[in-house]
Structure 1
Amino acid sequence: MADTTGGALDRGKLLAARYRAATDRPYLASALYALSVVPSDRVPTMGVDRHWRCYVSPGFVDATPVTELAGVWIHEVAHLLRDHHGRTDRLPAADQGDALRINLAQDCEINDDLLADRIPLPAGRVEPRTFGLPTGKLFEAYLPGIPPQTLLLNCGSGAHGRPAPWELGAAAGPAGLSGVEAEALRRHTAEAIRARVRSRGQLPEGWRRWADRLLEPTVDWRRVLAGAVREAVAWAAGAVDYTYRRPSRRSAALRGVVLPSLRRPLPRVTVVIDTSGSMGDGELTAALTEVTGVLREVGLQGNRVTVLACDADVHTVSRVVTAEQITLAGGGGTDMRVGISAALAMRDRPNVVVVLTDGYTPWPDQIPSCRLIAALIGPTPPSPPDWVETVRIGTPDLP
């Protein structure tokens, strides 16, 4: 164990707590024993970094009973098993800056499972009811309900992704785990949880749900959506046409003849957002998040992206660089055909149209010379016609 403290760490007590945690919850044993211990006076309690190193305050160990220390061991390893730092990296850029609120939301996700499992935790713990929130959610769903805070809470970069002041560099201290090793350990733990459920059937719902999602992952719709738009944009950019605005260099060899040159058009993307009454606040939040993702992932800027807010009529048309520039209006019936037709009738006809909707809309029979991508929001949206490229988007409650 590397030591960054002048005080003496009661290693026997700390390791006895880990042994108790691993004995009581054997499906977590491999993950618990994979953590390298780094004593430090700078960490208030315990925290983890991305490399599976656990930083421990000697004073906190002295003041905390073994039963509660065992709970803290499980809490910290849960941050890493649930890949909280990786999921934080996938949050919208506007949400990534407040590490404290992210950490609180992550603690809500973990602690309601630990308390349901009757695991003792120190006083002052954070749980969903601390903020009047329901149990059983993921931290991404809790985050909007966490108000600005001033209290001190920092579980380290293994939780919220930002290096804490007491953390060692990647090359210093214990080696920790690589990304590949960490992912293998997560799968091993998920399989142990599933085996425990089969043999005894008693386990907190949060752990069971986590294991099922890891072992039977759904498609990463964020990557699929960005990939579909990127492919469509590349398809549009690959088109060529002749123009006389820039004469061909071969014209110099032919007196009195002006030859056109080939040009490669810059693709235009139009996003049609469903603002009908069936789209709730959560669905609209997901839609705005995905517009931001499309702008960032595809790399289109300036006036290359136009956003239409549409229910059964088009209410606003905006050329945007960021999602903050989008104005949403509507709330009536649903007919995305109106928005698609309006997009295609614009002076600068788009090459790609992305429709963000819950799917409860009629669709056009077909669109010539344009790629149409339907990004369907919600748990069970109806499918559009087969010729429409389709990406299914999770609601804000889903990872």
Structure 2
Amino acid sequence: MSGAVDALKDAGAPAGTPVPLDVEKLYAARLHAARVRPYLATALFALHLVESRQVPTMAVDRYWRCYAAPAFAARTPVEELAGVWVHEVSHLLRDHHGRGDRLARDLGMEGPGARLRMNIAADCEINDDVEGDGLVLPAGAVRPETFRLPDGLLMEDYLRGFRFDPCDLEAAWLDCGSGADGLHRPWELGPDGAHGLAPEERDAVRLRVAEGIRGRPGDAPAGWKRWAEEAFHPPQPWRQLLGAAVRSAVSGPGAGEDYSYGRPARRSAGVPGVLLPSLRRSPPRVTVVIDTSGSVSDEELGSALLEVAAIGRAVGGRRDQVRVVSCDAATQAVHGLCRAEGIPLVGGGGTDLRAGFRTALRAVPRPDVVVVLTDGQTPWPEVAPPCRTVVGLFPRPMRYTEHDPDYRPDAPPQWARVVTIG
């Protein structure tokens, strides 16, 4: 029994007197957690402890406050409390609240029941990395094997991998706060409460922890190593980025614009006897140059065809305005866009997409936008083409080739809008 409860008994406090929060015990548990998981120390000591009798155990809000129930702290051993500290701070470091909000919008998940499922899925993500080296989770803590699911997956994977059944109802007591699922609780202090961290302070803590994990990667579980890499190199929604780049290019000034006498300009009224042409906008012409060299995989070529279909939609469905050029070291084939899945991609040799650029720009009429889908292992034109250029870049490690180990391919030129694919 904790020192706080013993003190109440020694003082002759009447039965039913509320147990005060044993702050010293909780701080000792946090110190133990920091010693066992030193890469999490910055985050653990960034949490501000708040006493709450409405929390079943311990919980965090999205502003990095940690709420603790006095009765839970009194009955729980220090080793288990240390595991709970690590558990709660893991929710915040892994941005489960932000990810929960995005999942709620994408999947239409509303209400406490849906957020409880998010909380349990988030627990499955982090609890397989908590225990060990003197850390213990309390009895009843949710683990992936609770739902016969594999270890090492993300909250999003677990959320789609299980459904509630009657035997899961014992998990209904779980409540790790808005820091675990994004849903505000009545007992939380909210954005205007004291001792909350500002967004830039939260980001600074995450980066500091990620630096510690990357500096000593042998001490961290695989889940934390993966998180640390993503903290420095977050995955980008490349399909949306590529689509936005193409739409921006095809809607830019000059793209698909020409003068026409079919409809006189309104300025003609100010110049009697003179017929002035008006500036008309036609669907933009797009040429897609696809890298079909041997270094581009079949899977990447399949992705390229999907992007060709998306480009056809981006120009308003006018497939007659889209041409596809297959190119490795030389132009292999030129096709109009009828059905993306019917386009043969010919190649398999070396790479020199300058030939593809020359073919694209020789077309009559000339394209308004050139989209290049490549792995980047190519020379680039020295002069910017007279139209907008978007490069979809398949990622590659920084090494090439076996013939010249010191060779490094040139990065795409500054005049191209570059989006990394995948």
Give me the whole-angstrom Cα distance separating, in 1, the residues matched to 2:285 and 2:72.
Answer: 57
Paired residues, number: 360
Query: Is 1:186 aligned with 2:217?
Result: no
Query: Is 1:94 aligned with 2:110?
Result: no
Give me the whole-angstrom Cα distance separating, in 2, the residues matched to 1:121 and 1:102.
Answer: 19
Give me the whole-angstrom Cα distance separating, in 2, the residues matched to 1:353 and 1:14.
Answer: 61
Residue 8 of structure 1: how far off its partner (Å): 4.1
SS of structure 1 residue aligned to 2:180: coil
Give the CA RMSD over aligned residues.
5.8
Residue 124 of structure 1: how far off its partner (Å): 3.3
SS of structure 1 residue aligned to 2:269: helix
Find the counterpart in structure 2 of residue 3 from structure 1: none
Equivalent pair of 1:112/1:128 in contact (CA under 8 Å): no
Find the counterpart in structure 1 of residue 160 from structure 2: 146
SS of structure 2 residue aligned to 1:189: helix
Residue 66 of structure 1: how far off its partner (Å): 2.5
Alignment deviations for residues 158-199 of structure 1 (CA, whole Å, 9 cap, x no partner): 23333234322211x32311112122222333344455x38x
Give me the whole-angstrom Cα distance separating, in 1, the residues matched to 2:117 and 2:125.
Answer: 13
Q: What TM-score does the superposition give when structure 1 sets the normalisation length?
A: 0.63
Give me the whole-angstrom Cα distance separating, in 2, the residues matched to 1:42 and 1:356.
Answer: 55
Query: Is 1:64 aligned with 2:64?
Result: no
Query: Is 1:54 aligned with 2:104?
Result: no
Residue 78 of structure 1: how far off its partner (Å): 1.3
Find the counterpart in structure 2 of residue 11 from structure 1: 22
Give me the whole-angstrom Cα distance separating, in 2, the residues matched to 1:148 and 1:133.
Answer: 11
Query: Is 1:174 aligned with 2:194?
Result: yes
1:1-399 equivalences in 2 (<5 Å) = 8-12=19-23, 13-88=25-100, 93-95=105-107, 97=109, 99-115=115-131, 119-122=135-138, 123-127=140-144, 130-135=147-152, 137=153, 139=154, 142-143=156-157, 146-147=160-161, 149-150=163-164, 152=172, 153-171=174-192, 173-194=193-214, 197=216, 201-214=218-231, 217-218=232-233, 221-222=236-237, 226=241, 229-230=244-245, 233-234=248-249, 236-239=251-254, 240-244=257-261, 246-263=263-280, 278-279=298-299, 373=390, 375=392, 390-394=418-422
Residue 80 of structure 1: how far off its partner (Å): 1.6
| Pair 174,271 (structure 1): closer, same or farther in 2 beyond 3 Å | farther
Equivalent pair of 1:101/1:147 in contact (CA under 8 Å): no
Counterpart of 1:10, as a letter, is L
Equivalent pair of 2:117/2:159 in contact (CA under 8 Å): no
State the identity as a percent: 44
Equivalent pair of 1:375/1:391 in contact (CA under 8 Å): yes
Counterpart of 1:106, as a letter, is A
Counterpart of 1:258, as a letter, is L
Equivalent pair of 2:242/2:419 in contact (CA under 8 Å): no
Give me the whole-angstrom Cα distance separating, in 2, the residues matched to 1:237 and 1:144.
Answer: 43
SS of structure 2 residue aligned to 1:158: helix
Give me the whole-angstrom Cα distance separating, in 1, the residues matched to 2:60 and 2:262.
Answer: 60
Bigger Rg over Cα: 2
Residue 59 of structure 1: how far off its partner (Å): 4.1
Counterpart of 2:178, as a letter, is S
SS of structure 2 residue aligned to 1:47: strand
Equivalent pair of 1:269/1:304 in contact (CA under 8 Å): no
Alignment deviations for residues 73-108 of structure 1 (CA, whole Å, 9 cap, x no partner): 101111222333345566695247454444344323
Unaligned runs of 5+ in 2: 1-16, 291-296, 324-332, 348-365, 377-384, 401-408
Unaligned runs of 5+ in 1: 1-5, 319-327, 336-348, 360-367, 395-399
